[in-house]
Amino acid sequence: MDPQQLTPEQQKEMEEKLKNMSPEELMEFQKQQCIFCQIISGKIPAKKIYEDDKVLAILDINPAAKGHILLLPKEHYAIMPQIPEKEVGEMFIVAKKMSKLLLKAIKVSGTNIFIANGLVAGQKAQHFMIHIIPRKEDDGILEVEEKLTDQEMRTKVKSLIENKFNELMGVKKEVLQVESSDEEVKEVEELEEPEEIKETKKPAKKVKKKAVKKKGKRENKEKVEEEKPEKESDDKDDDDDDDGGNASLDDIANLFK
């Protein structure tokens, strides 16, 4: 999907143009460059299996197996974390429908629902998609080996992820601070850590919406700066720093250009 070859001068001109674009113009530009956006708008033909106002399901022209379906959000998103919550849920419900269709209409012994977020995960297009792949035993698709991980590693993963995940879920953890005045306290959990931990549930949706909005803005800004593909693998344990945390996500989204 390489764009036409540019001379160094043209490239420079292009870079200059990109720099001067407003976030809205940039988004528009990105969409113009995206083959799947063109399929969605009907400029490029595709074999459509399902369509509603939010999503489009088409046959992959280079499938892993006959009947390989690509489920696309009509809006242009690069990776899953950018998609509004409601749409994520709706997409999975359509994915279930597509899987059911494959099981029913094609003789297969299973399906994979597969999402790749980021180049290293095998994402090939800049438009987010859910693959629904019909499977047969020993077809060599999505082969992977499972290994035993040790307890130490699992505990480490848990402790690294827990804070951020609870934050996203709207579960607030306060260490050694028990306030009985808060009515929303639903559960007190004893974890492996020695500290006493209190969990407070708060409406998760609100928090999430804000985060998404913020991310969108950030992405646009970064897009301008980010010309050389620089990879940041920030192993940040500091979850309180929202901006720093989002940066790595945006980097991943921006790897596609």
Partner 1 sequence: MKCEHCDIVERKSKADILYEDDEVVVAIKDLAMTPGQITVFPKEHFTILEVVPEEILEKCSLIANKIGIAVFESLGSQGTNIIIQNGLGAGQKVPHFAIEVVPRVENDGLGLQWDAKQLAEDEMATVFMTLEQGMKELDSSAEAEKTKGKDETGKDKKNSKEDDKNNYLLKSLKKIP
Question: In the chain, what's the furthest Cα-to-Cα distance?
Answer: 67
Please check whether residue 69 is in contact with residue 55, taking contact to mean a CB–CB distance below 8 angstroms: no
Which of 5, 7, 53, 147 is close enough to bind partner 1 by CB under 8 A? Answer: 147
What is the SS3 assignment for 193?
coil
Residues 4-43 that bind partner 1 (CB under 8 A): none
Token pair recorded at residue 57: 């399901």
Binding mask 153-172 for partner 1 (x = CB under 8 A): xxx-xx-xxxxxxx-xx---
Residues 80-99 that bind partner 1 (CB under 8 A): 80-81, 83, 85, 88-93, 96-97, 99
Number of residues counted as binding partner 1 (CB under 8 A): 91
Scanning 8-16, 120-128, 173-181, 220-228 for contacts with partner 1 by CB under 8 A, the matching segment is 120-128
Residue 146 near partner 1 by CB under 8 A: yes
Compute how many other C-beta atoms are within 10 angstroms of the C-beta atom of residue 228: 5
Which of 2, 9, 137, 190 is close enough to bind partner 1 by CB under 8 A? Answer: 137
Residue 53 near partner 1 by CB under 8 A: no
Which of 12, 17, 19, 136 is close enough to bind partner 1 by CB under 8 A? Answer: 136
- The DSSP bridge partners found for residue 135 are 110
Q: CB neighbours of 26 closer than 8 A, spacing ≥ 6?
A: 18, 220, 223, 224
In single-letter form, the type of residue at position 7 comes to: T
